[in-house]
């Protein structure tokens, strides 16, 4: 097998990702056309599959940026195929974020692809690799909210509008959480190259616990309130009414029942 063939194989989109994309397309069509007998179930499947797609794009953005930064090993590891099963921690990268959406209703940043840092030369490249993932979430949020901030909602069915609002909410929460400068999150990866060696050595023992500390802090009422106030402000900036996001979250959790005022 030639090198060119190997590289082509390493970058070929995985059938697993295409299957997830197909589920997103079919269930999105079902929500749009009101074809589904249970609109809430269709919204649940659409949002969940779209959320997994965004997780794959998040990790792909890290890997692709690392490839251009000098880590040529990401292809052999399968990171460029968009296959979530190829991630270093598939459970942390996909399963846990999906479960957290179902239980808590926010976009939880997942695990990570493994980048060989020694192959990356230059602090800016290291920072950009870490920032690439959350930026993918930001772009996904902009696409989801485009009908809102472009004032192009005419003809968009209410259930689909609500689903887009909730999906955008997940992207915004994931981007904001992930950009916190806390060890274990991408935000720390952005600033780490600019820290002194002594500071990094002091922080290193605590890095495995940073993610869990952030989750624990979200259960503190004052922190939780400040976080969601920031999210609500960002959603309003994107033109998404709080009611649309709320109705989207209620449709997503169809087993709890959907309020009548959501109009679905």
Residue 38 phi/psi, 5° resolution?
Answer: -115, 95
User: For residue 149, what are its two tokens?
Assistant: 């901030």
User: For residue 244, what are its two tokens?
Assistant: 């649309």
- Residues known to be catalytic: 59
Sign of CA dihedral 220, 137, 161, 147: positive
Question: Cα–Cα–Cα angle for 123, 126, 132, nearest 5°?
Answer: 135
Cβ 263 vs Cβ 180: under 8 Å? no
How far apart are alpha carbons 20 and 234 in whole angstroms? 28
Q: Which residues lie closer than 8 Å to 233 by C-beta, 6 or more apart?
A: none
Cβ 216 vs Cβ 227: under 8 Å? no
How far apart are alpha carbons 176 and 130 in whole angstroms? 14
Cβ 222 vs Cβ 228: under 8 Å? no
């Amino acid at each position: 097998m030639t090198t060119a063939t190997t590289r082509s194989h390493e970058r070929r989109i995985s059938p697993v990702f295409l299957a997830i994309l197909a589920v997103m397309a079919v269930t999105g069509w079902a929500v749009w056309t009101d074809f589904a007998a249970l609109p809430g179930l269709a919204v649940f499947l659409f949002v969940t599959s779209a959320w997994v797609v965004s997780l794959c794009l998040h990790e792909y953005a890290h890997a692709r940026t690392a490839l251009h930064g000098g880590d040529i090993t990401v292809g052999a590891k399968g990171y460029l195929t968009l296959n979530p099963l190829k991630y270093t921690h598939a459970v942390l990268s996909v399963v846990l974020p999906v479960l957290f959406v179902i239980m808590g209703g926010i976009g939880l940043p997942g695990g990570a692809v493994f980048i060989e840092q020694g192959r990356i030369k230059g602090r800016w490249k290291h920072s950009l690799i870490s920032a690439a993932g959350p930026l993918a979430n930001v772009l996904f949020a902009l696409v989801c909210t485009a009908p809102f901030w472009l004032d192009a909602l005419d003809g968009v069915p209410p259930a689909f509008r609500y689903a887009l609002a909730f999906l955008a909410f997940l992207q915004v929460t994931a981007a904001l959480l992930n950009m916190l400068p806390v060890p274990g999150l991408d935000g720390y990866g952005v600033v780490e190259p600019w820290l002194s060696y002594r500071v990094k050595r002091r922080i290193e023992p605590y890095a495995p616990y940073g993610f869990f500390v952030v989750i624990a802090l979200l259960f503190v009422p004052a922190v939780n309130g400040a976080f969601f106030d920031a999210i609500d402000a960002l959603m309003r900036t994107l033109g998404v009414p709080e009611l649309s996001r709320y109705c989207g979250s209620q449709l997503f959790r169809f087993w709890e029942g959907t309020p009548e005022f959501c109009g679905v």
